[in-house]
A and B are shown apart, each in its own frame.
Chain A
Amino acid sequence: MKIKAPNTALPTLPLYTEEELILGIRNKDQVMFGYLYDHYCGSLFGIIRRIVPEEESAEDILQEAFVKIWNNIGSYDAGKGRLFTWMVNLTRNLSIDHTRSKLYKTGLKNQGLSNSVNKINRQQSVAQNTDQIGLKTVVEKLKPGYKELIDLLYFGGYTQDEVAKELNMPLGTVKTRTRAALQQLRELMK
């Protein structure tokens, strides 16, 4: 897949501050919303694709997520955290809901989420821009166990309990490692 301008380009220079974006979208400014989409669709789509393997469903969820962002931006409270965190939570919940209902419908419930996540992990050979390559090399510096943990929790929609079962690890260890993993990630991203 090739990235085509202007629709899916990830702007390198922010044109608006987060406050301006939020205010603009609250006032139903579609240009601002387009900027928000361009800026975050890749990151959010990356997360969706980790949870929802089918490309078509993932695209639907991405659209649904942004419609929700457009409609519910008023309920986002900047005092409580970053806009991106809010958007990720919203998107991930949609994805997990989709996967769970899908697994249930197709009788695959017992297999859990792991299969779909692993499948997606193997599909991660999609083209990336230069920004991403730089980031990728940073991420690669994460301890392998840590990366797996973050992937399961952040992208996989796993709870810490589920991770403990999946990795056959005591819950306490999962909790300690989660903290250590994010600490390392934070250090790497500095």
Chain B
Amino acid sequence: MNIEAYQASGILERYTLGLSTPEENWEVESLAALHPALRSALDSLSDALETYAKAHALAPPARVKDALFKAIHETETNSIHPTERGRIIPLNRKSATEAVAMPFMTYAAAAATILLLASAGLNLLLYKSWKAAEQNLALVDTEKSRVAGRMEVQKASYVQALKDLNILKNPELVKMELKGAALAPYAKAMVYCNFKTNEIFLDVRALPAPPDSMQYQFWAIVKGKPIDAGMIDLCKPTDTCGIHPMNPVADAHAFAISLERKGGCVQPEGQIYASFGI
């Protein structure tokens, strides 16, 4: 901002003389607050005009001061409504009606204050109900995703159940129960075997969780010899396990599950956890 150019426009003089518009006043006052040079230029102009006014001073009669203080004293001592203080006491009969100041601005200010307060109250109310609605929405949202999650689980288990049902529907399946060995008495698995097609299905019901480096292996025993029928991928507690097809093996008469190193072995090396027909 070029302060010299601004001053040269004569705006400070017009401001000091009371000739500037309210917008210009605001501008001058804002700029003067920022630029000390403007502030002191304004002050020196004001001082010059003050002196000029003093040079043209006229002493008013003493009765003005008396009436003024009477008016002020009266309003200060018995003012019930502070907005109405400062009523003018007419000095001259004929100007009595002109002299009563209508405190329009006071009423306007009061009205504006009431409106502002009402608006603030309404804002607070709206803000509160908005907040409550927002909280409700968040709750509903959480609930919705929870339901959606549950739906997923339900769907998956439904699909698994359908698959299981399709397998079990076959009347040619022979159902056998693998029972836990001494080291895992609660271990349990079901084997479904189709001796015509050699299909074998395994449904693990309970097995101890294997160590990370180990995996359960499923064996079909044919003529006394164990044959690898596939690795068992134990599901996590939350997953749906269901009935899984294993490697087809012909003429199996017994089954076993052993704990082997990951990836499995050609011949069982580890301990047997559950078995049927052995």
Residues on A lying within 8 angstroms of B by beta carbon are: 1, 3-4, 7-8, 10, 28, 30, 33-34, 37, 41-47, 49-50, 56-60, 62-64, 66-68, 70-71, 79-82, 84-85, 88-89, 92, 98, 124, 126-128, 131-132, 135-136, 138-139, 150, 153-155, 159-160, 175-176, 178-179, 182-183, 185-186, 188-189
Q: Given A59-B91, A59-B92 in contact, is the A3-B59 Cβ separation under 8 Å?
A: yes
Contact B19 A153 (CB under 8 A): yes
Return chain B residues, CB-CB under 8 Å to A84.
46, 50, 53
Per the bound structure, the CA–CA distance linking A41 and B66 in Å amounts to: 13
Residues on B lying within 8 angstroms of A by beta carbon are: 8, 10, 13-14, 16-19, 29, 32-33, 42-69, 71-73, 76, 85-92, 94-95, 98-99, 101
Contact B14 A41 (CB under 8 A): no
Q: Given A67-B71, A136-B55 in contact, is the A178-B62 Cβ separation under 8 Å?
A: no
Contact A42 B13 (CB under 8 A): no
Sample 17 A-B pairs with CB under 8 A, ordered by A number. Answer: A1-B59, A37-B65, A37-B68, A42-B57, A43-B50, A56-B91, A60-B98, A63-B71, A63-B88, A67-B71, A68-B86, A71-B86, A80-B29, A82-B47, A85-B18, A135-B51, A153-B17
Closest to A186 in B: B48
Q: Given A59-B92, A179-B10 in contact, is the A30-B64 Cβ separation under 8 Å?
A: no
Per the bound structure, the CA–CA distance linking A108 and B45 in Å amounts to: 34
Return chain A residues, CB-CB under 8 Å to B101.
64, 67-68
Q: Given A63-B67, A67-B86, A135-B54 in contact, is the A85-B60 Cβ separation under 8 Å?
A: no
Closest to B100 in A: A64
Contact A139 B59 (CB under 8 A): no
Per the bound structure, the CA–CA distance linking A66 and B64 in Å amounts to: 10
Closest to B94 in A: A56
Contact of A186 among B44, B55, B63, B68 (CB under 8 A): B44
Per the bound structure, the CA–CA distance linking A179 and B62 in Å amounts to: 37
Contact A160 B33 (CB under 8 A): no
Taking A81-B43, A132-B54, A135-B54 as known contacts, 5 extra A-B pairs with beta carbons closer than 8 A to each other, sorted by chain A number, are: A56-B95, A82-B43, A128-B57, A182-B16, A183-B13
Contact of A60 among B29, B43, B51, B95 (CB under 8 A): B95
Q: Given A42-B54, A182-B16, A189-B48 in contact, is the A59-B29 Cβ separation under 8 Å?
A: no
Instruction: Count chain B CB atoms within 10 A of each CB in A28, A68, A71, A138 and give the residue with the most.
Output: A71
Per the bound structure, the CA–CA distance linking A150 and B51 in Å amounts to: 13
Contact B61 A59 (CB under 8 A): yes
Return chain B residues, CB-CB under 8 Å to A3.
59
Contact A43 B92 (CB under 8 A): no
Contact B14 A160 (CB under 8 A): yes
Closest to B88 in A: A64
Return chain A residues, CB-CB under 8 Å to B52.
135, 139, 150, 154, 185, 189
Contact B53 A63 (CB under 8 A): no
**Distance in Å from the Cβ of A137 to the closest Cβ of chain B?**
9
Contact of B64 among A59, A81, A182 (CB under 8 A): A59
Contact A66 B68 (CB under 8 A): yes
Contact of B58 among A7, A46, A131 (CB under 8 A): A46
Contact of A8 among B44, B59, B89 (CB under 8 A): B59
Return chain B residues, CB-CB under 8 Å to A124.
56
Closest to A93 in B: B18
Per the bound structure, the CA–CA distance linking A115 and B76 in Å amounts to: 40
**Distance in Å from the Cβ of A96 to the closest Cβ of chain B?**
10
**Distance in Å from the Cβ of A71 to the closest Cβ of chain B?**
4
Per the bound structure, the CA–CA distance linking A155 and B18 in Å amounts to: 11
Return chain A residues, CB-CB under 8 Å to B32.
80-81
Closest to A185 in B: B48
